[in-house]
Amino acid sequence: MAERYELSDAEWELVKDIVSTPQRMGRPRRDDRQMLNGIFWILCSGAKWRDLPERFGPWKTVYDRFRTWRDDGTFEAVLARLHLRLREDGLMDLGTWMLDSTSTRATRAASGGGKKGGPEEPVDHALGRSRGGLTTKIHLVCDGCGHPLAFELSPGQHADSRWFTTVMECVHLPGPVGRPVKRCDHIVADKGYDSDALRRYCDRYGMKPVIASRKMHRRPRRGRSRGFDKARYRQRNIVERLFGWMKEMRRIGTRYDKLAKSFRAMVCLACVVLCFRSYFSDRT
């Protein structure tokens, strides 16, 4: 039986071929499952890497494996595998999606990234000053069942509407046959996403926006007329609850990582944990 925060046998079998690739040469590496369990322990406990329990092996080895999988796209590949299985089993809602954001407070140590990280790392490391202090904002889209589909990071002071298109363009749901799904029938969001440009974007791709209007808009809307679906808008609490579950993992509730790509990897792992939870809860 798996310890707390660790992968069960069924979960490991589902992603083993992605995480533990055959090694043809060199010194044998430490057990991949043990390394991944150590990373999940850090994610959920919020502890420092140096405080990793001895049962996971040397903390430096676990941290180096985290950096390797972060940089080669392993975590994203695991999340894509779970999306595929959820689609195959009919557990994913492809009709209605929700989009929202949440701010994560960053510690003082997280601001010490400097110029590290390489060309793919944003200059600001997705850190910014907002009313809550030094923060990072997570922009996320999920389906009607609460499965995280895609996300992006931004400095905390950025407006939600600025990242709507970017997050939607990141959705890429593979299926057993045919093209990956990138659009939905209805997209639900709060009034922070209310703009003519976003509504035109939805019209272009055949999506119906269920977005509350701001009171400041006094002139009539352009484009096709649309009724506001109040019943569907009430489902927006699904994405809000999803953020609540994610922030129970302490590396998401507070940002400790200096680099945006490291924090992004942690958010991706949090999405993996939630997809695991949903996929296997329907089998118990």
pLDDT per residue as tens digits for the range 173-193: 988 888 899 999 999 999 999
Give the pLDDT mean for 51-68: 96
Of the chain, the percentage scoring pLDDT greater than 90 comes to: 73
Average pLDDT, the chain: 90
d(Cα 261, Cα 94) in Å, to the nearest integer?
28
pLDDT for 21: 81
CA 112 to chain centre: 24
Cβ count near 159 (within 10 Å): 13
pLDDT band at 1 (very low <50, low <70, confident <90, very high): very low
Q: Taking the model in full, what pTM does it have?
A: 0.92
The CB-side HSE value for 161 (13 A sphere, CA atoms) comes to 15
Q: Is the pLDDT of residue 113 over 90?
A: no
What 8-state DSSP symbol labels residue 21? -
pLDDT for 97: 97
